[in-house]
Amino acid sequence: MIGADDDALLVALIDDRLDAAARRAIEMRLTVEPKLRARYHELAAGGLPFTRAFDAALAEAPVARMQAKLNAVGGGVPRRRPQRRWIGAAAAIALLLAGAAIGRFAPAPFASEDNDDWRAVVASYASLYTPETFAGIDGAPNEAAELAKLSHALGVALTPNAIALPDLTFKWAGMLAYDGAPLGEIAYLDGDVPVVFCILDKSEQDAPVKSETREGVAVASWARGGRGFLVGGRISEARATQLAEALATRF
């Protein structure tokens, strides 16, 4: 259920009033919580069903004729002031085209609600990470505390030593959710490349490490004890597999 606090966060996100950590946290939730994502799009559109309304308007609007008149006005002397009625036409066309674009042509930064594969969802939001995503974050002072929270929620013993990987620097650990199941994420930097280690506490059959590439993100995953595990990032599949195999000896 979406509460008032969630709405406040979403509005702050839309208004670009969140700091980097808060923005990252809510964007991660949006990738895995369909109801929250639907509310985000509703608020971003002003809470009104604009798309259907503008679809109907576009079907009836003489857009081609209006655009031709605008072009004629624009082709005159540059400093000539257009007649007032063409200003209204310009505003109407801009409004109609903007409305048509809502939900149609805008980029979709979050995974599809129809996607039932958590690995694809993780790869989708991991593909958005850049070297700047975790820039300036020193995760070391909070590492033990953040991992303890994940351990409690996931039922997995997570400690700084247990999740340490060669040449990777710990940056952040936090709790998400996927399809109602707890999803923990641990983020590192491999040089300046973000890498994630994720754990999904949802019934899965045991499986060995396997790798693939999704949306430019190398993903190596395995399952053990009813939980799913994944390592992913814009690294080679061989590197992802190497890291996953190191962790698979511990989890």
In the chain, domain spans: 50-101, 117-248
Return the pLDDT at 42.
Answer: 72
Rounded CA-CA distance 191/41 in Å is 35
Taking the whole predicted model, whether its pTM rises above 0.75 is answered as no
Return the pLDDT at 144.
Answer: 97
What's the CATH superfamily of 117-248?
Answer: MucB/RseB, C-terminal domain (3.30.200.100)
Return the pLDDT at 25.
Answer: 81
Return the pLDDT at 174.
Answer: 93
User: 160 CB contacts (<8 Å, ≥6 apart)?
Assistant: 143, 144, 147, 170
Please give the chain's pLDDT, 251 residues, in tens: 667 778 888 888 887 788 877 887 888 788 777 778 778 877 776 544 444 444 544 555 555 655 665 555 555 444 444 444 434 444 443 443 444 333 333 333 444 443 348 999 999 989 999 988 888 889 999 999 999 999 999 999 999 999 999 999 999 999 998 988 999 999 999 999 999 999 999 888 999 999 999 989 999 999 999 999 999 999 999 999 999 999 999 99
Return the pLDDT at 46.
Answer: 56
Return the pLDDT at 66.
Answer: 56
